[in-house]
Structure 1
Amino acid sequence: MRLIAAAALLAAAALPAGADEPAPKRAAPKYETRERHDPDGIGKFYMGREIARVMGFQGASWLERPERVKEEEPAKLVEALAVRPGMTVADVGAGSGYHAFLMSPLVGDTGTVIASDIQPEMLELITEKAKKQGVKNVRTVRGTETDPKLPAAGVDLILLVDVYHEFSHPFEMADKMVAALKPGGRLVFVEFRLEDPKVPIKLVHKMTERQVVREMEAFPELEHTRTVGTLPWQHVVVFTKRAPKK
């Protein structure tokens, strides 16, 4: 019996912090479909917000447009993320990998950037770019509409750039991402500001800060720790996963 108890203790010690805790029960998400809706949306609504159509891989060139540097100032975003060497970060809905490659030199040789996307064509673009640039710390993962396929309790930072509003199952995706975060890990939403009518983006591809916070209230493990408002068109809404109670 002592041997069995010792083995159980060793196994528990080998698990990531918080991994042995039971997953919290969530209220089932309430989605609604409407016949009359924005033509740029899918007619499916979550908490009053219409979900936008996914931008296909055919639009990858728009993600890599030179004007993006001026329009979005990604250097300011990356600075706000405070990425450090050795971190495991995930770019969910990575698209062409624009932000994944910005974070790659910051995590360094001891860190990893996980580029998750549901479109294999996008992942192929990332793989080709990594080969051309000799980047070895960016790895691709093909997610699904309900699961980004991230390691449980294994990620320090999850970045969502202009993509959460396109998730057909936002509740299920957020649930999986929360489970993937380490205690103290951050879930970061970068969304075009719906509050600002001057931001030249289609309405269903914009979100208010209030809406993002409201949708994350379903996850009590998350704390809204800050919102960065220094980017030209987007706000950066940051949530931190609370450490498990002892």
Structure 2
Amino acid sequence: MRSLTFWLSSFVFILAVSALQVHAQDEPYSAPLKELRYTYNQNHDPNGIGKFYLGREIARVMGHQGIRWLERPEREEEERLSKLIEGLDIESGMTVADIGAGSGVISVLLSEAVGPTGTVLAVDIQQEMLDALQAKCKFLDIDNVVPVLGTTKSPRLESGTVDLIVMVDVYHEFDFPFEMLQNISSALKPGGRVAFVEYRKEDPYVPIKEVHKMSEAQVKTEALVPAHGLQWVGTFRRLPRQHVVLFSKVE
């Protein structure tokens, strides 16, 4: 009886080890780790979605119904978008991506900066936004802006093709910031740059809802996750309400 019990125990142990080996080939802990990347809390900011990444609550996405706010006449005075373009050190002929392009306010400015030999990839996840952007470009006779319909996890840009990626007041709304930034980094050429333009959370006088602001420290915490292969290269601080935190892809 004892030998039979020993044999049965050994058989069960062998089966358990075999099962572990099979699961190991299928990356058994990858799914739980991905789930742990984000946390959820029902008690949250009403302007957020209750989903948190590295201590920050993700904000609600502005729908295409907000185009009028994006196009408000006083935006240049409030945000000095023209000065933003100057601070990005864009050269003629560059390929620049505008992530969360919306109705194309920033894309139009970028199209002038890259010149006729350059390209602006205007990425948004809402087709309605891209329709408005295309109508604007047609009206203004702009032909170097290419609309790209992205997803919540990827801008759908070809790997290693982009010189500069710009995100103006949008990164904090990404449902999947880790995945998006992973794909954004992949789209950059070696040495290519990515600019996080975010309302300064450090400044209580910036008249924007708190969940739609980001501190420079939080931007760095998320961008410098080793998997993204990015390094901080500087912060442009000459805008009235936003800071521009710049990173480059490690060559």
1:200 aligned residue: 207
Q: In the alignment, which of 130, 135, 141 is matched to residue 137 of structure 2? A: 130
2:62 aligned residue: 55
Q: SS at the partner of 1:148?
A: coil
In the superposition, the TM-score normalised over structure 1's length comes to: 0.86
Q: Is 2:147 aligned against 1:146?
A: no
Which structure shows the bigger proportion of residues in helix conformation? 2
Give, as a single letter, the amino acid of the residue that structure 2 aligns with 1:200.
P
Unaligned runs of 5+ in 2: 1-32
Give, as a single letter, the amino acid of the residue that structure 2 aligns with 1:79.
E
Q: In the alignment, which of 186, 190, 200 is matched to residue 183 of structure 1? A: 190
Deviation at 1:84, TM superposition (A): 1.0
Q: 2: CA distance between counterparts of 1:233 and 1:81? A: 16
| Cα deviation code 1:24-57 (max 9, x no counterpart) | xxx8461001010000000000011000000000
Deviation at 1:231, TM superposition (A): 0.5
Contact 2:85/2:113 (8 A) holds in 1: no
Query: Which runs of structure 1 show a deviation greater than 6 angstroms over 4 or more consecutive aligned residues?
Result: none
Identity of aligned residues (%): 55
Higher RCO structure (Cα 8 Å, ≥6 apart): 1
Give, as a single letter, the amino acid of the residue that structure 1 aligns with 2:242.
Q
Give, as a single letter, the amino acid of the residue that structure 2 aligns with 1:145.
T
Q: SS at the partner of 1:42?
A: strand
Give, as a single letter, the amino acid of the residue that structure 1 aligns with 2:199.
F
Q: SS at the partner of 2:238?
A: coil
Q: 2: CA distance between counterparts of 1:169 and 1:45? A: 10
Q: SS at the partner of 2:159?
A: coil
Q: 2: CA distance between counterparts of 1:115 and 1:234? A: 21
2:122 aligned residue: 115
Number of residue pairs aligned between Structure 1 and Structure 2: 218
In the superposition, the TM-score normalised over structure 2's length comes to: 0.85
Deviation at 1:193, TM superposition (A): 0.3
Aligned ranges 1:1-246 → 2 under 5 Å: 28=34, 30-219=37-226, 221-243=229-251
Q: 1: CA distance between counterparts of 2:65 and 2:57? A: 23
Unaligned runs of 5+ in 1: 1-26
